[in-house]
Amino acid sequence: MNVLERSGPESDRAQALQRRLRWLECPRCGGSFVLRDGASELVCTTCAVGYPIVNGVIRFVDREHYAGSFGLQWNIHRRTQLDSYTGIPLSRSRLFQV
What's the closest the beta carbon of residue 47 comes to Zn ion, in angstroms?
Answer: 3
For the chain, give the number of residues: 98
Phi/psi at 34 (5° precision): -130, 155
Rule CB under 5 A: is residue 32 a binding residue for Zn ion?
A: no
The DSSP element (H or E) to which 14 belongs, if any, is helix 9-20
Interface mask toward Zn ion for 37-66; x: CB under 5 A: -------x-xx-------------------
Q: What's the rounded Cα separation, in Å, for the pair 30 and 58? A: 16
Rule CB under 5 A: is residue 29 a binding residue for Zn ion?
A: yes
What's the closest the beta carbon of residue 43 comes to Zn ion, in angstroms?
Answer: 9
The DSSP element (H or E) to which 12 belongs, if any, is helix 9-20
Q: Which residues form the interface with Zn ion (CB under 5 A)?
A: 26, 28-29, 31, 44, 46-47
